[in-house]
Amino acid sequence: MKTVTKNVIAGCLLLISFSVLSQEKKPLFKIIAFFTAKKDLAHISFVNEANQKFPEFAKENNFTYDTTSNWQNCNASFLSQYRLVLFLDTRPEAPQQRAAFQQFMENGGAWMGFHFSAFALTPSGYNQDWDWYHNVFLGSGQYKSNTWRPTSAVLRIEDNQHPATKQMPATFRSSPNEWYRWENDLRKNPDIKILLSIDATSFPLGTGPKQNEIWHSGYYPVAWTNTRYKMVYLNMGHNDMDYENKTNATLSFTFANEIQNRFIINSLFWLVRENKGPL
């Protein structure tokens, strides 16, 4: 009788231990990354890198990272499974996909976008034909110009009290990137809080060969949030490629930068804490 009781107790303890262990391993939240990864080799390189690095971030920080290149998944039912949506390189194009994303964000969803996800230029393959996204949500309007070739910059923290910039130095050197200039002056938008900008010590920024691809002065925000939404946009996301020698090898990696990665992780966790939606 005593042996049976001991076995029952031992079994119960084992079940309790297993239950506790299962709870500890349960992911804190789920995020979904949309991508296209076509045409531009530098953007494809970044997407491939992100889809290798974010699973590492997920394992280290106990969340789930899913990906899809099917933009038809940008619908209310699919998005409702996730706490945070990432756009790694492009944006939704179909009207129903755009409407679903806008509804997701207006209902309290969270978003992080990289580099080309904010691009719009009329005329181009990505016309500025989505006013809510480019002028209201991002606030940046159309793309105006860029530096070339991809170059590391010294970035300055614009708000050292923001959760995304905690425990970060006042300035830090980024991974090499193609930097964008925008149509709208984000400093004049009361809804926009700029988090990172290019520090003046970066100038001249870019190597050309065209002179207009080298910046010598000016104010250039590279990461910001819109206070009306749970979102962070980062201009990073264009790796340097060996076009000259025609090897098309990746020469630099966006995520090979501990401080820059800290900003990304800080931003991610700030966004999901703000968004109390589905796990």
Asked if 89 and 114 count as a contact pair (C-beta separation under 8 A), the reply is: yes
Convert the pLDDT of each residue in 26-63 to its tens digit: 899 999 999 999 989 999 999 999 999 999 999 999 99
Beta strand pairing call for 180-182 and 143-146: antiparallel
Instruction: Name the stretches of the chain with pLDDT < 70.
Output: 1-24, 274-279
Confidence (pLDDT) at 6: 54
| Sign (positive or negative) of CA dihedral 127, 128, 134, 136 | negative
Per-residue confidence (pLDDT) for residue 22, from 0 to 100: 40
Tokens of 167: 């425990």
**Residue whose structure tokens are 């080309």:** 116
Sign for the pseudo-dihedral over CA of 133, 135, 151, 84: negative
Phi, psi (deg, nearest 5) at residue 58 = -65, -45
Which pLDDT does position 25 carry in this prediction? 77
Dihedral angle, C-alpha 60, 232, 50, 185, nearest 10 °: -150
Query: What domains can be seen in the chain, in order of their start residue?
Result: 30-274 (3.40.50.880)
Q: What is the pLDDT of residue 103?
A: 98
CA gap 57, 66 in Å, rounded: 12
Per-residue pLDDT at 20: 42
